Amino acid sequence: MTDTAIGRDDCLQWDEQDPLRRFRERFTLPPGVIYLDGNSLGALPAHTPERVETMIRREWGDGLIRSWNDAGWFEKPVVLGDRIAPLIGAGAGEVVVGDSTSISLFQALTAAVRLRPDRRVVVAEADNFPTDLYLLQSVQEIAGLELRLVDPRTPGASLDDLLDEQVGVVLLSQVNYRTGELLDMAETTARVHAAGALVVWDLCHSVGALPVDVTAAGADFAAGCTYKYLNGGPGSPSFVYVAPRHQEAAAPPLTGWQGHRRPFAFEGAYAAGEGATRFRIGTPQLISMAALEASLDIWEEVSLADIRTKSLALTDMFIRLVEERLPGLGTVVTPRAHASRGSQVSVRVDDGYPMMQALIERGVIGDFRAPDIMRFGFTPLYTSMTDVWDAVEVLQEIVVSESWRALPAAPSGQVT
């Protein structure tokens, strides 16, 4: 769009040309809601309830135990992994689905550490999502390693400063959950490899938000969730990627029976399953997998290039409108450069919590991350340019009327 002031009509026109427009009706969103939190929990695909009901009534209710074979339950973690693979640039047999991101991270991190037995240091970002830090701290303690934290605010604590011949494994998020900053996966992986270390990527905020290419980047391991941009539903299972070159040597720590080479031989000794299947643990969450399966149907029709183009247009527009119309609101902390931006915009605002609550009361749903970040996630499958316009309009009304002052200044519920 041009540099002159943008109007709502311009946004409507943009939406008419949008190649992803048709996907909006594939989701069920409540009327009157502008949903800008798909980076936390994706929206409900319209056909998911039917798929889950079929799983429960037909596969479980009628099929009972027979469904392990007849409905392909046993293979589901691998079949779904193969369906996620194209979304992250992986090949068949390189991704398995199951468990939670925290568990998948623990599996990948420990396996990576075991591949570098002579190196006694692990590295993580100080401002990564807490579960990543907590899990790496645990791996570090169990294995008796040293942990170094990358912190751009501290002199001498950049990734390059910390990398040396002691470092075995580096854990990084491709998109930072708080700021929305996107790292260059290929360039960063190359730097880590040049130091002789392995890298584990957390893809939670990038899978389904932009084209990801673990193969081209040379990533060693990756893990991610499916309940954000992939729309698999609350608590839907995570996935783990294992580069083919590591598959035969990788030794994940949680050696459950379904990761065994011959699970139904019921042998007393563990023998790791072939390739990435050894990252399976125990009985998978099959009801959640049915919901994930339904959401992946949509992804088979989507061009990730279109997703990226629209995501950048939506976030550009949001940043532009917020800065033009609400110049005193706060600081946009999300990078301006497209190459460094995921699919969310984070604004640092002193009274961000009550302001976000006021927005949610008006049907514009984003979220808040302590101490002062208002997060707005943009999901190209079901967010329109007009939604962006309308959301900023509501935000402006709230700021001008100061209606947020009537709301509690600090969180009362457990989830912000």
Ligand X SMILES: Cc1ncc(COP(=O)(O)O)c(C=O)c1O
State the catalytic residues: 129, 202, 227-228, 375
Find all residues with CB under 8 Å of 294, minimum gap 6, and list them.
45, 47, 48, 50, 51, 52
Per CB under 6 A, 131 contacts ligand X: yes
Among 202, 220, 351, 367, binds ligand X (CB under 6 A): 202
Q: Token pair 């316009």 is at which residue? A: 389
Radius of gyration of the chain (CA): 22
CB atoms within 10 A of CB 164: 14
Binding mask 41-80 for ligand X (x = CB under 6 A): ----------------------------------------
| Per-residue tokens: 41 | 């929990």
Binding mask 349-388 for ligand X (x = CB under 6 A): ----------------------------------------
Rank residues 6 and 230 by Cβ distance to ligand X and give the closer one: 230
Total site size for ligand X, rule CB under 6 A: 13
Per CB under 6 A, 129 contacts ligand X: yes
Strands (E), 211-356: 221-224, 239-242, 331-332, 344-348
Smallest separation (angstroms) from ligand X to the CB of 131: 5
Distance CA 204, CA 202 (A): 6
Rank residues 175 and 399 by Cβ distance to ligand X and give the closer one: 175
Q: In the chain, how many H helices and how many E strands? A: 14, 15
CB atoms within 10 A of CB 396: 15
Smallest separation (angstroms) from ligand X to the CB of 268: 31
Per CB under 6 A, 102 contacts ligand X: yes
Question: Of the listed pieces 201-209, 323-331, 360-368, 388-396, which binds ligand X according to CB under 6 A?
Answer: 201-209
Rank residues 189 and 226 by Cβ distance to ligand X and give the closer one: 226
Per CB under 6 A, 346 contacts ligand X: no
Binding mask 223-262 for ligand X (x = CB under 6 A): --x------------x------------------------
CB 344 within 8 A of CB 312: no
Q: Give the amino acid at 384.
A: S
Smallest separation (angstroms) from ligand X to the CB of 264: 29
Among 48, 140, 166, 173, binds ligand X (CB under 6 A): 173
Per CB under 6 A, 127 contacts ligand X: no
Q: Give the amino acid at 330.
A: G
Smallest separation (angstroms) from ligand X to the CB of 201: 10
CB 273 within 8 A of CB 259: yes
Rank residues 203 and 321 by Cβ distance to ligand X and give the closer one: 203
Among 106, 177, 368, 382, binds ligand X (CB under 6 A): 177
Distance CA 45, CA 297 (A): 10
Distance CA 318, CA 313 (A): 9
Distance CA 244, CA 251 (A): 14
CB 108 within 8 A of CB 95: no
Rank residues 173 and 379 by Cβ distance to ligand X and give the closer one: 173
- Alpha helices, H only, 144-242: 159-162, 185-194, 214-217
Smallest separation (angstroms) from ligand X to the CB of 183: 12
Rank residues 172 and 395 by Cβ distance to ligand X and give the closer one: 172
Query: H or E stretch including 414?
Result: none
Rank residues 272 and 356 by Cβ distance to ligand X and give the closer one: 356
Q: Give the amino acid at 256.
A: G
Task: Give the footprint of ligand X on this chain (CB under 6 A).
Answer: 100-102, 129, 131-132, 173, 177, 202, 204-205, 225, 238
